[in-house]
C-alpha cells in the first residue's frame, strides 16, 4: 500500500479550511485559474509527447514528468502553454464582459491574468525562469542565476517596504509579502519538495 505524505494531507487540510472561509470566492477563483494553467501545460505535453505526463501534487502546485525527453522547442511550448491558457481565459472573459458586466467575472479575469503574469516571473521553479534557462546558453546560466538572485532581493525589499510603509489593507500587505517570501525561502534555504 502506498504511503500518504504529510505534505499531501497538509495541502488538503489547508484547501478545506480555505474553502470553508472563502466568502468572496477568491480561493475558488484562484483554484480555477491554477487548474486552467496546469491544464495548459498538460495539454501541450500531450500534443508534444503523444503521451500523458505523470502529475506530482505538492504544496507548491503540480509538476509534470514524463518518460520521454522533449526537445528544447517542445519544452518551451509546454512551459509557455500554462500562462497562455490564463491569458486566453482572461481575454475570453473580458470579451464576455463587453456584453454583460459582472464584478465576479471581472475579478476572475483579473485573477487569471495575474496567475499567468506571476508564473512568467524569472524566479525559482516558475515558468518564466525555466523558459529563460532553456533560451540561454550554458555559459550564460551562471550570470542569469546571479542576476535572478539580485532581482529577487530587490523584489523582496520592495515587498517589505510595501508591508511597512504602504497604505495597503492588511490582507494586501500579507499578499505583497507572500509570493516574494516564498521565492526567497526556496532560493536561499534550498527548500525542496522532494
120 half-sphere exposure, CB direction, 13 A CA radius: 14
pLDDT of residue 146 exceeding 80: yes
Calculate mean pLDDT across residues 123-139.
Answer: 86
**What is the domain count for the chain?**
2
pLDDT of residue 102 exceeding 70: yes
18 half-sphere exposure, CB direction, 13 A CA radius: 13
Read off the pTM: 0.77
**Banded pLDDT at 9 (limits 50, 70, 90):** confident
**Banded pLDDT at 39 (limits 50, 70, 90):** very high
- Identify the domain boundary among 92, 114, 135: 135
pLDDT of residue 178 exceeding 80: no
Rounded-to-10 torsion of CA 118, 124, 126, 131: 110
142 lies in the same domain as 86: no
57 lies in the same domain as 86: yes
How far is residue 126 CA from its own chain's centroid? Answer: 6
- Residue that the C-alpha cell 496567475 belongs to: 115
77 lies in the same domain as 124: yes
Domain range for 112: 1-135
Amino acid at each position: 500500500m502506498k504511503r500518504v505524505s504529510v505534505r499531501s494531507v497538509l495541502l488538503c487540510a489547508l484547501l478545506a479550511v480555505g474553502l470553508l472561509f472563502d466568502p468572496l470566492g477568491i480561493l475558488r477563483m484562484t483554484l480555477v485559474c491554477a487548474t486552467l494553467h496546469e491544464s495548459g501545460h498538460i495539454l501541450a505535453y500531450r500534443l508534444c509527447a503523444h503521451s500523458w505526463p505523470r502529475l506530482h501534487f505538492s504544496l507548491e502546485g503540480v509538476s509534470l514528468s514524463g518518460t520521454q525527453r522533449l526537445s528544447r522547442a517542445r519544452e518551451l511550448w509546454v512551459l509557455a502553454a500554462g500562462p497562455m491558457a490564463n491569458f486566453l481565459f482572461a481575454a475570453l472573459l473580458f470579451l464576455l464582459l463587453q456584453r454583460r458586466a459582472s464584478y465576479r467575472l471581472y475579478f476572475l479575469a483579473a485573477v487569471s491574468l495575474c496567475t499567468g503574469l506571476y508564473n512568467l516571473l524569472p524566479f525559482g521553479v516558475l515558468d518564466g525562469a525555466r523558459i529563460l534557462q532553456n533560451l540561454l546558453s550554458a555559459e550564460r546560466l551562471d550570470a542569469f542565476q546571479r542576476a535572478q538572485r539580485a532581482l529577487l532581493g530587490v523584489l523582496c525589499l520592495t515587498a517589505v517596504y510595501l508591508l511597512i510603509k504602504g497604505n495597503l489593507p492588511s490582507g494586501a500587505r500579507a499578499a505583497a509579502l507572500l509570493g516574494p517570501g516564498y521565492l526567497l525561502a526556496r532560493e536561499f534555504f534550498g527548500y525542496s519538495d522532494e
